[in-house]
Structure 1
Amino acid sequence: MRPHDMGTLFDEAAAGGARTVFHLDRPFDIAPDAGTRWTVDKLAALVRATAARLAAAGVRPGDRVAVAKDNHWDYDLLACAAVRIGAVPAQLSARLDTADLTTLLDRLRPAALVTTSAVLARCREAAAGPPAPVCVTVDTAVPGAAHLPALDASGPSGPVRRHADEPLVIHHTSGTTGVPKLVVHSTRTLVHKLARFEAVRHPGIGIRPDDVLCTVSAYGHGRTFCWTAVVVSLAPAEVLVLTSDDPDTADPLLRAHRPTVVEALPSSYTRLRPLTARLDNPFRRVRLYISTYDAVHPPVLGAYLRASRRPRPLWMQGWGQTETGPLTFRFHTRRSALAPDAASTTRRLGRPVPVKTRLRVVDPDTLRPVPRGRPGLLLVRTAALAQGYVGEPDRWDAKHVGGWWATGDVGVLHRDGSVSLLDREADRLPGMSCLHTEDLLEHRLPQAMECVIVRDQDGAPLPVVVTADGRLDRDAWKQAAQGLPALPPPTVLAWDDVPRTGTGKVRRTALARQLTGAAATGTGRWT
């Protein structure tokens, strides 16, 4: 099956005989009494019923419907329901700061907001008026808001067809350096150009009919909407949906249905890493690991590859952006993870996706091309480029450079066509790559869950080491920092002390402000 219409995706899969069984670590927020085991036909019925409920709430074709709720895959079911009745879903992480969330809602001006009672209370307290003309809660009934389970599910629910170039869905960027941007994708850019390319059984890396696929994600972000189209189309035997990356919470489901393919956020791989050290670890059958959003630090990558008992497990690392989808990919093996230069391998992002993307590197000040092997601003050309930013058209236009798209990343294009990522332009420091230095520190500090280097208000490096208990031996730091650019003693924090995006990325500007009271960035021109 080739994905096309996200509003009828589950109907078409059910009609085609898809027998995938979906196992959840907790019930859907929009179906709390329906259990944790779902078939494709049950999911299709849930999407139809939810679409009817949204229509009963007053949602009409062309309306924007914002969704901000607890993390679960029903973000995408709500989005498919909105698409089914001709609306445009806008998926917003409930982990956003209230100020950022209300800013995005003000830019969106949605006809309806589907949310929880807690998030609605936050928005009402922070804003002068209601966050949307119609507010719908998924958990408990709230005065002045509709309650999703109480809405009529028996009415007509479409489907309403739209042109492939009309807006399909809106996602926001991670927001590591400030207020996230709202990115508009169409059916052509997200489904035809991205999902269809991935929904092919590529040898070795394609999803097979007998696979048990596990995902641990931030379901309000762009990757999972595309992932939903791919997985429902390819119909593996089973799919595990984890909403939490707490090892003790995830372990029972992983052991009950041992995965053969795992896709997770980099931060979730880090959090679940203790499971790889258990004698009967749940990753023994994994043949393929997939990571997106950000690079995974080498010690984490190596731990998972060693945990698999397959003879040749692979790790597929993708680099891309909300605006573009995947741009490059590369593979890691046990051998490469244990190589002497393993501490720098994950920043080597591989080559552009064949036929799909082109890359070039320019001087960020003059915009003139730089020779291969020299660092500069990474530009890309792809047919999957989104349609724009909601409420910020000038910002969108400013990132176009002579037919190319400025990613905002600083990197190196090598002679063999591969690319290495050095830093975000807004985070770079003179004379060093923060990302490369972080990899080296993590390689040398096994007790570190994460190492981060931000810049203080004077532009000097400020290292942060994240450990399980918020402590680090001074001698261990001194030894790890030898041979690196001069670094002051680190700030040591526990995981929950670090400000993060909905995908688990460190909000570097917020972290610098938390530590120093101020934050310095690069030019910010390309963010």
Structure 2
Amino acid sequence: MSGLDTPLTPLHFLARAAEVHPDRTAVLDGVRSWTWSEFARDVTRLAQALRRSRIAAGDRVAYLGTNSAELLAAHFAVPLVRGVLVAINTRLSPAEIAYICRHSDAAILLGDGDLLAAAGPGGAYPAVREVVELPGQDGAYCSVPGSIRYAELLARGTDEPIPWEVDDETRTIAVNYTSGTTGEPKGVEYSHRGAYLNALGELHHQGFGNDSRYLWTLPMFHCNGWCTTWALTAAAGTHVCLRAVRGDRMWSLIDTEGITHLAGAPVVLTTLATAAEAHALDRPFTVTTAGAPPSPRLIGRMRELGAEVVHVYGLTETYGPYAVCEAGDTWSRLPAGEQAELLARQGVGMLTADRVRVVRREPDVAGHLVDVTPDGRELGEIVMRGNSVMKGYHRDPEATATAFAGGWFHSGDLGVMHPDGYVKLHDRAKDIVISGGENISTIEVEQAVLSHPEVADVAVIGVPDDRWGERPKAFAVTTPGAQLTAEALMAHVRDRIAHYKAPREIDIVEHLPRTSTGKVRKNELRETAWGTCTVRIQG
């Protein structure tokens, strides 16, 4: 870098918001609120408190909390002292949380009282040297044994300013752990530079402005809220914290707080769309979705409610969203159904990302990755690179080297490249069903099932089959009051996709097992099916 350059860091976003818009509302968390100047003051105090708690450059600070002003503050206070934020999935077991604290070598753990208490007497986090209980939305504490209160931690701090800058933009700003559904969770390292650039990409594609009011339906611990913790701050919008996703509460805040933006997995959109309180809005309202491909029917329903749907795609390893299904210039002239089909694709690289590629599983003789034919049919692996891709896996050089084979990050997702340059995801490599030598996309089957108006949720997996090796099976959740039978649903699906792809077995279930980020735990469904399933051969 030259002497005229300054290292890129999202800390700059808070400094600017506090300077330019000091009296604008920054954060709402229940009955509590902060202006941007007040929030910057509290972030500084927390950063000074962490310094006096012996947090030095490179030290990890873990948070186990729901969406709150305190967790949002951590996204600035921890990197302000050049520490590393480790925001932990709140639905993990105490043993998994303890593993992450140990693997990340976290010095301090801050968490919601009920989540810390779930660890049992004396706590289950011996790897950390101090446990701090965060206040509830009403400011109250649970008084968890073995912990101190957040107010006590803040009392160590001062209001003495700390420069909103970093010495090295490649310094690690956060470590986010993957879900660990196929093994131990991996710690994904983000840099200040990557967080800064991805946040700007989010700001652009989600359309944030200083009048934006963002409802936190997306967990802040998930890829740092897809970097929206930093992106909305860059726009000096208003963060509205939500501790638990419920349809009635979401609609109440949408109406009373004038919410303009929210984000989440398709299951969050389904909760929003099927709530008794759902109604069409006559003002700008943007919903960003990722985590699993949304069905065209769900996209259509959200648009009926007046929402602009922004469909993005990415992984923990790509700071959350990397690609966006940006509408083409002529799409608005197409019928609504065709528009929804196009918007259900994963799209193209975001403004601050490199181009998305879909490559064949085997490189050429020189070891170079080979792109699939862009015909919308040839299946390959989605690969990415650039500023919006992780530094690497924390303390795991072998996994890092494997992930970056050929100089590109290998997502493990299978998809196709369409002639217009837009990518469409077909499946995770581990989820694809190979039946009689034919590849069957579980996503294609799921969307065929979801096209029935009485289906609210679905998951498709491969189950054993004596003749074909495996075949697709669906687990469907119906809408309240529906009388839909499995037989009628199977007939509906057979009318929409090739018969060999259609499930010959559908279980109507009350709910699907999901991670806290909205992804179906297909590994649990597969373990049951392959471990205890009695194979049924039907004509």
* TM-score normalised to structure 2 length: 0.82
1:329 aligned partner: 324
Greater shift after overlay, 315-324 or 53-62? Answer: 53-62
Distance 1:23 1:136, change over 3 A: closer
How many Å apart are 1:3 and its aligned residue? 11
1:409 and 2:413 correspond: yes
How many Å apart are 1:18 and its aligned residue? 4.9
Contact 2:187 2:393 (8 Å CA) reproduced: yes
2:366 aligned partner: none
Q: How far, CA to CA, are the matches of 1:337 and 1:171 in structure 2?
A: 41
1:421 aligned partner: 425
Distance 1:476 1:287, change over 3 A: same
1:31 aligned partner: none
Match of 1:319 among 310, 313, 316: 313
Deviations 1:43-70 (A, max 9, x none): 2222223223333443233211111123
1:384 and 2:378 correspond: no
How many Å apart are 1:265 and its aligned residue? 3.2
Contact 1:176 1:505 (8 Å CA) reproduced: no
How many Å apart are 1:180 and its aligned residue? 3.3
Match of 1:105 among 98, 101, 105: 101
How many Å apart are 1:165 and its aligned residue? 0.9
SS of the aligned residue for 1:499 comes to coil
Q: How far, CA to CA, are the matches of 1:126 and 1:499 in structure 2?
A: 30
Q: How far, CA to CA, are the matches of 1:249 and 1:490 in structure 2?
A: 33
1:189 aligned partner: 194
Contact 1:183 1:322 (8 Å CA) reproduced: yes
Q: CA RMSD in A?
A: 3.2
Q: How far, CA to CA, are the matches of 2:334 and 2:525 in structure 1?
A: 32
1:256 aligned partner: 256
How many Å apart are 1:5 and its aligned residue? 4.0
How many Å apart are 1:383 and its aligned residue? 2.6
1:230 aligned partner: 231
Distance 1:206 1:412, change over 3 A: same
Match of 1:455 among 462, 466, 469: 462
SS of the aligned residue for 1:105 comes to helix
How many Å apart are 1:209 and its aligned residue? 3.7
How many Å apart are 1:422 and its aligned residue? 0.2
Contact 2:61 2:107 (8 Å CA) reproduced: yes
In the alignment of these two chains, the number of paired residues is 495
Distance 1:77 1:221, change over 3 A: same
Q: How far, CA to CA, are the matches of 1:518 and 1:149 in structure 2?
A: 51
Q: How far, CA to CA, are the matches of 1:3 and 1:292 in structure 2?
A: 30
Greater shift after overlay, 80-89 or 238-247? Answer: 238-247
SS of the aligned residue for 1:144 comes to coil
Map 1:125-524 to 2 at 5 A: 130-138=126-134, 139-151=141-153, 152-155=155-158, 158-159=162-163, 161-175=166-180, 177-191=182-196, 193-199=197-203, 206-224=207-225, 226-236=227-237, 238-275=238-275, 278=278, 281=279, 283-308=281-306, 314-325=308-319, 326-331=321-326, 338-339=336-337, 342=340, 344-353=341-350, 356-365=353-362, 368-373=370-375, 374-430=378-434, 431-443=439-451, 445-456=452-463, 459-468=470-479, 472-483=484-495, 484=497, 485-495=501-511, 498-514=512-528, 517=531
How many Å apart are 1:334 and its aligned residue? 7.7
* 1:349 counterpart letter in structure 2: Q
Q: How far, CA to CA, are the matches of 2:71 and 2:483 in structure 1?
A: 37
How many Å apart are 1:199 and its aligned residue? 4.0
Q: How far, CA to CA, are the matches of 2:490 and 2:203 in structure 1?
A: 48
How many Å apart are 1:506 and its aligned residue? 0.9
2:536 aligned partner: none
Q: How far, CA to CA, are the matches of 1:11 and 1:97 in structure 2?
A: 37
Greater shift after overlay, 57-66 or 427-436? Answer: 57-66
* 2:110 counterpart letter in structure 1: V
Contact 2:414 2:427 (8 Å CA) reproduced: yes
Deviations 1:129-167 (A, max 9, x none): 614122222243333333222232443574573311111
Q: How far, CA to CA, are the matches of 1:298 and 1:234 in structure 2?
A: 31
Distance 1:492 1:9, change over 3 A: same
How many Å apart are 1:103 and its aligned residue? 2.6
Match of 1:88 among 71, 77, 84: 84
2:47 aligned partner: 51
Q: How far, CA to CA, are the matches of 1:81 and 1:211 in structure 2?
A: 23
Contact 1:22 1:241 (8 Å CA) reproduced: no
Q: How far, CA to CA, are the matches of 1:341 and 1:491 in structure 2?
A: 31
How many Å apart are 1:355 and its aligned residue? 7.0
SS of the aligned residue for 2:241 comes to strand
* 1:511 counterpart letter in structure 2: L
Contact 1:352 1:418 (8 Å CA) reproduced: no
Q: How far, CA to CA, are the matches of 2:98 and 2:483 in structure 1?
A: 36
Distance 1:345 1:197, change over 3 A: closer
* TM-score normalised to structure 1 length: 0.84
Deviations 1:255-288 (A, max 9, x none): 113333343332211111124874xx26331353
Deviations 1:323-358 (A, max 9, x none): 22433212467876832584x545422223357312
**Any stretches of 5+ residues in structure 1 without a counterpart?**
28-34, 520-527
Distance 1:249 1:327, change over 3 A: closer
